[in-house]
Chains A and B, each alone.
Chain A
Amino acid sequence: MKILTTVKKVVDVELNIRVNDGAIVEDGLQYVINAWDENGVETAVQLKENNSAETTLVSIGGDDNADMIKKCYAMGIENGILIDDPALANADSSVFAKVLQKVYEKGEYDLIITGKQAQDTDNGQAGIMLAEYLNIPCVSNVVAIEVMDDSHVKVSRLGDAGTEIVELELPAVVTVSDSINEPRLPAMRGIMMAKKKKIETMDLSALGTSIDDLGGADLQSEVVEYMQPEARKSGQKFEGDAAEITAEVVGLLSNEAKVL
Chain B
Amino acid sequence: MTKILVVADIKQGVLKGSTSELLSKAKALGAETAVVAVGSNIESLTADLANAGSDTQYIADDASLELFSAGPFTSCVVDAAKQFEANLIWFGFSETGKAVAPRVAAQLKAACATEITDITIDGDNVEVTRPTTANKLIQRIKVNASQLVAVVRAGAFEATEGITGAENAVKLSIPETDLKAIIKEIIAEAGDDIDLADANIVVSVGRGAKDQAGIDLVKELATDLEAGFGSSRALIDAGLMPHAKQVGQTGKIVAPTLYFAIGISGAIQHLAGMNGSKVIVAVNKDSEAPIFNVADYGIVGDLFEVVPILREEIKKIKG
Chain A contacts to B: CB under 8 angstroms: 11, 13-14, 17, 19, 24, 93-94, 97, 116, 119-125, 128-129, 131-133, 136-141, 143, 154, 158-169, 172, 177-179, 218-229, 232-233, 235-239, 242-243, 245-247, 249-254, 257, 259-260
Contact = CB atoms under 8 A, between A and B. Distances in A.
A239 B268 contact: no
Contacts of A131: 103
Contacts of A161: 11-12, 67-68, 186, 188
Contacts of B99: 128, 140-141, 159
B147 to A, nearest CB: 9
A223 B297 contact: no
A106 to B, nearest CB: 21
B114 interface: yes
Contact of B244 (A128, A158, A169, A228): A158
A124 B186 contact: no
B211 interface: no
B102 A137 contact: no
A137 B11 CA distance: 24
Given A139-B181, A226-B138, A163 B106 contact: no
B28 interface: no
A221 B144 contact: yes
B95 A159 contact: yes
A250 B313 contact: yes
Q: Is the interface of B mostly helix, strand, loop or mixed?
A: mixed
- Scoring A172, A222, A260 by chain B CB atoms within 10 A of each residue's CB, the highest score goes to A260
A19 B137 CA distance: 8
Given A24-B137, A129-B103, A260-B314, 10 more contacts: A123-B114, A128-B106, A132-B106, A137-B181, A165-B184, A221-B113, A223-B139, A225-B140, A238-B298, A242-B302
Contacts of B258: 253, 257, 259-260
Interface stretch (B82-90, B169-177, B272-280): B272-280
Interface string B276-298: 00111100000100001111111
7 contacts: A121-B133, A137-B178, A162-B188, A164-B68, A178-B250, A179-B243, A257-B297
- Scoring B95, B102, B114, B133 by chain A CB atoms within 10 A of each residue's CB, the highest score goes to B102
Nearest to B68: A159
Please list the 4 inter-chain residue pairs (A to B) with the smallest Cβ-Cβ separation, ordered nearest first.
A132-B106, A220-B111, A162-B188, A250-B313
Contacts of A260: 258, 314, 317-318
B1 interface: no
B132 A122 contact: yes
Given A137-B180, A220-B112, A223-B141, A257 B133 contact: no
A159 B111 CA distance: 24
A245 B131 CA distance: 34
Contact of B144 (A93, A137, A222, A247): A222
Interface stretch (B56-64, B158-166, B303-311): B303-311
Contacts of B106: 94, 97, 128-129, 132-133
A177 B112 CA distance: 21
B268 to A, nearest CB: 6
Contacts of B300: 237-239, 245
